[in-house]
Structure 1
């Protein structure tokens, strides 16, 4: 995010119709990423959990939107209080925001900035849901989202992007959410799964994706929406930085996909569609914090490194025994860490800011700042998320019953199933026209 975006300025420049329109489009692109994530995750689970996985993402659109208007925007981007949190009464309920008021130093209305940031707040808890597939009560999940964005996401967003936030003031670079979104969500996922435990049959039963076409559809829509996520985070493109971010997003994503597939071929002997989709997402995650600080060549390096690291990391759950159902830790936490730290190596000092990485003569200073940001957010989110999950587990319970988990969480939690095969082929009318005995002496075309 660009600097200095915390208060309304009396001498704000004139509203730009071009930048305002651009940011509204970017906001819509980021919004579509949450349904895209639902498809991505929904295809990766077994049939009996498809609807639940879709709903765990979709419900965030409802809950976080209301909380953001009531107090979330104020906590994240209001006047700084102690470098930890913000608050502005005008932002609470959007009650004091004028229709034509511009965001501090920029040519877009406060409403536009607020709705753009809302879409970030929506998708971040949705990312966590992939680690919890198959086993969490929907009511408990909805309550967890409510608590988590209030005590984790809103404060961390202020740390990273709010003037006065301590990581912002330290000089940590996070263009569009490597720490605030991906490390935050990945660490939270790890904290929750350590509390709620493994799925029934983990490491014993096959738990393969039921629909790889859905996975690819979701990944493609995420890639598409991510241009709004990243390029829009400069809040306009008057100086070309947003254009660089757009290019770097494409470049890093391509490099990560190819790197993941290359690793997969060498390690397992095949190029898989799941690997292609996962590699693309790993690249998107890694370039999110770093794309405004590196050149396109640096973006290739960031993407390739993240693709290999994330491909390696997804297998750690089997070694260490934590059940990260859809590899949120392996992709979002590891990818976010990689992208954030690599700024300290590849920052050119000629795009987003003048901060340079080690390979461009900047020494270790920026790398040290990035490490502080990475591990502060990781530790805070991990611990607080685990505590929230433990409280919910000991009160209303986080998990469905074992029998319900085995039979299928869709039917138990939503009274629906993703697919109805009762009238699709093989019905009584089809059987009535089939020969009683199939011929055995003729070749039958497939």
Structure 2
């Protein structure tokens, strides 16, 4: 009895079985006997040749298995090495095979620098900067963006090297900002000579300013005797010209965001140089008084109201005008604008004190200014400062107007309404803003 099946229809008949049931003509049937059913007499006796063949077959299988294992290990190791290289360099290998061009970040940076030719800042190695600063031997200062050390280039040129920390963004963004800083050229803006970019290590190389920063002089007990009012006035006017250049004179409008005495450097002739502009975009400072780009930007005491609250207006170049006004008033007073250590409460906030004296007495005689010329200089600087620190940005002059104010007399400049951040602020901001006149409206 066979095993199979049959299927019928009107036009078709199908049959299948496990053994042949149809033999075409001229064919030969071959009978295959299973090993277990074969008789002992029909099995060939094993000999040496068949044993050798079995051994060779087994050996080939072992060799093939070993080669496969070794090849798999090599492939895994190659993948690991390639992954590490991709992570380090940022480049995808075999770019010609996949038909796309992927460049290393370092290639993009070199291309950026090459596009600017001689205008591009020089790139220094970190080891070289460490060497010229004698392993950070002479510290010049420290701020939210990093530490500054004195160094000497191979040609004997003295420099200040600022080693940055807490950088955000990639190397390409850093170089773009460095190039924008390098392209600035003004007598009152610090000159960037070069930079360093090696992974997380980043630094900026500036001309060395032998007289340090402005805060060393204006907060000293004998600041007026050391510099004199005429020199203070020249420094103030120079800072104004430098800011006006950043706002209007260079290719890209630059808002400093951190104008303060520590960021005003003085050369051998006490010519002021604005430093650290552009770094607010790149750094995320640790110090609590310096705030990141995700929140506030600047230093408490110099931050414009609109920077920490949009209720006061939109952040713009007028934000730097506010900071400049605070610097100007600190230069006049020789002290910080907000100081709780004074004996009389009326002197806690210096801008209020200055406004009261100018409004009531028309002078600043309590500052022991001396001659009438000195009194005129101090009064004009204070009046300009008061205009600059008006709460509403629209009420403040532009830096171009500020420069014009330096060429006028104190009486021509006048004083603004008393409306400062430390004073009482009405809840109805729109109404109060309408009551506050700007310098342009008055002049």
Find the structure with the greater CA-based Rg: 2
Q: TM-score, normalised by structure 2?
A: 0.22
Q: TM-score, normalised by structure 1?
A: 0.22
Higher helix share: 1
Higher strand share: 2
